[in-house]
Structure 1
């Protein structure tokens, strides 16, 4: 592992051109970044580092972790690294592949259930173009999730921190997917067979697999409409809890001076079948439902700076994803971004949660306020 990191780091220093990294197995991400290939090889080496400091005013000075439903920027009152990775990507007319290795507090918390040797894999996949004349690809491995408009790469998101709906839906998926982009660039259609709800290692007791889809329509550069879905389970087969999840969003005027993102998640888990004896069982009736609307707006104040704001609501009364029964929380944030250099971004964000239930197990408080700042560089 150390040898591989060293080799990639040496290769990246050899090329002075700046390359921003995204999942190259999809052309449908809200923010697409250009990369420059190594001459005559189709190989690109790139990297990303985001350092941050979060000050949670609602927690005791000695409390080191922010609320458990957060996976990004979670450490409290300490300078740390949220995400750092180095990536090698290869692509030609008919094949492509990606390998990215990661460290930071984001993988520490979000990959906690994965096997030890897998936790440092941000991306590892291979793809083949199935048609000479059409943009139709088959990819397999570990890749960034197509669900949602926010990723773990903060610089590619409109706000410094993530929405609650992003933190509690898949950031990554593992399996195989087929992606088709129309010739006019307006439609992206994706279907995938995956190991589960944000799982590389399939859940013990679950026979799977799960299915996920994406339909994205871009009628103009000023508008993107997206629907993504998941059908499967994140519970053992014995509980018979099928999960059906939908993610909808619209991105309006993303390159203009003023832009808006409208998002909405809604999901359900069937209530479990509970066995009470060798022959007797109690059937689960109905479903547990959670949902979350969010609005994000940003305004370009200069060629190098933006201000942004977010209003969100997350309702998970059964605690299906959050783990806290009765969870109903409003969230508000206001942020400022400044591009110090073409590949260096400074960000500052204040955020408040107002909940009907306590937001942490450490402090019995229903209001949480925090200030987060970060510096992110890409190369």
Structure 2
């Protein structure tokens, strides 16, 4: 398998480099787009996550999980979700990142991109615009600032991603300004991007999109975040503007009991029909709340539970072709064992329950879907 060859090359490359860890396993608030090494230095880091997912609902012949999932996608086989090797350069006024990826995450989540770009996890360059302020201009391909989860499972509280994370941007391409206040409490970001999780613009869409972030950390125990996207993911001819909001709060992130509360809400304007008239007034709206609670038994053992809901009755993001659209609850429990600070074994059970029968089975479609996922992840 081609992924195996790439992973072996990534491991070999890491053996020649000084280890560098972009993010601690207990901190999902730090950006994964920029490693913070010693000034005037080049560091190499990497990540590999192997997994096995068993979908108890899907037919035995089905090798894929449901279509609205992009991580841990392959069913009943051992595979690699994400593996990358990353080079990061940082000096007082200049920084840059280049990470090359393989795995089923890249295979399924980057299908709309040009083949050469599907293996790029991030590629960006930045310059500090002020000698006295923490103000940076960066341009290129970035991991998304929208949401509290990334494709790096080891840095997230649950093994698999939430429904809202799977169906909002994991990556963005464009230019951004980022300002961090001197007291470390505020982060302000404004960006011009090529589209809704697009490296290349969608054919027929000419306008740039805008994305913002406001993050406030009043103390070490609280993180409050609001991110937005304003643009479109449709051709100009449909005149469908999109406005999307992502809110989350992380409470006591490094404590014995920690909580994440998240809420996404987005809307697309109704499109122009074949007769040149708009299909009704108003907007199509979708939304998703999620709550995650993590209990740290010790530094090595952590447990987490998640309850979530996703409502997309008009099929803007997740199309089902059913009467009620995608209206689905999700419940999951997972246990993590950190063999080493840089290596974790995880197991998670998850159940989806939908208003309509949208899940494939060997006979008739089902309203529920049950799965068990395990993974082994290392960072270096």
Return the TM-score normalized by structure 2.
0.92
Per-residue deviation, residues 239-295 of structure 1 (Å, max 9, x unmatched): 00000000000000001111000000000000001132xxx5345411110000000
Deviation at 1:4, TM superposition (A): 11
Residue 368 of structure 2 corresponds to residue 372 of structure 1: no
Q: In structure 2, what is the Cα distance between the partners aligned to 1:178 and 1:362?
A: 47
CA contact (8 A) 2:193 2:209 kept: yes
User: Among residues 13, 16, 27, which one is paired with 1:14 in the alignment?
Assistant: 16
SS at match of 1:117: helix
Q: In structure 2, what is the Cα distance between the partners aligned to 1:238 and 1:209?
A: 15
Query: 1:1-379 residue pairs with structure 2 within 5 A?
Result: 11-15=13-17, 17-21=18-22, 30-31=29-30, 37=37, 41-276=40-275, 281-325=277-321, 326-360=325-359, 364-379=365-380
Q: In structure 2, what is the Cα distance between the partners aligned to 1:368 and 1:4?
A: 33
In structure 2, runs of 5+ residues without a counterpart are: none
- Label 1:85 to 1:168 Cα distance change in 2 as closer, same or farther (>3 A): same
Per-residue deviation, residues 326-352 of structure 1 (Å, max 9, x unmatched): 110000000000000121100000000
Q: In structure 1, what is the Cα distance between the partners aligned to 2:9 and 2:94?
A: 23
- Deviation larger for 317-326 or 302-311: 317-326
Return the TM-score normalized by structure 1.
0.92
SS at match of 2:115: coil
- Label 1:349 to 1:29 Cα distance change in 2 as closer, same or farther (>3 A): closer
SS at match of 1:274: coil
- Deviation larger for 56-65 or 121-130: 56-65
- Alignment RMSD (CA, Å): 2.3
CA contact (8 A) 1:338 1:347 kept: yes
CA contact (8 A) 1:67 1:359 kept: no
In structure 1, runs of 5+ residues without a counterpart are: 23-27
SS at match of 1:255: coil
- Deviation larger for 59-68 or 116-125: 59-68
- Label 1:29 to 1:229 Cα distance change in 2 as closer, same or farther (>3 A): farther
Deviation at 1:6, TM superposition (A): 9.0
Per-residue deviation, residues 179-226 of structure 1 (Å, max 9, x unmatched): 000000000000000000000010000002000000000000000000
CA contact (8 A) 2:6 2:102 kept: no
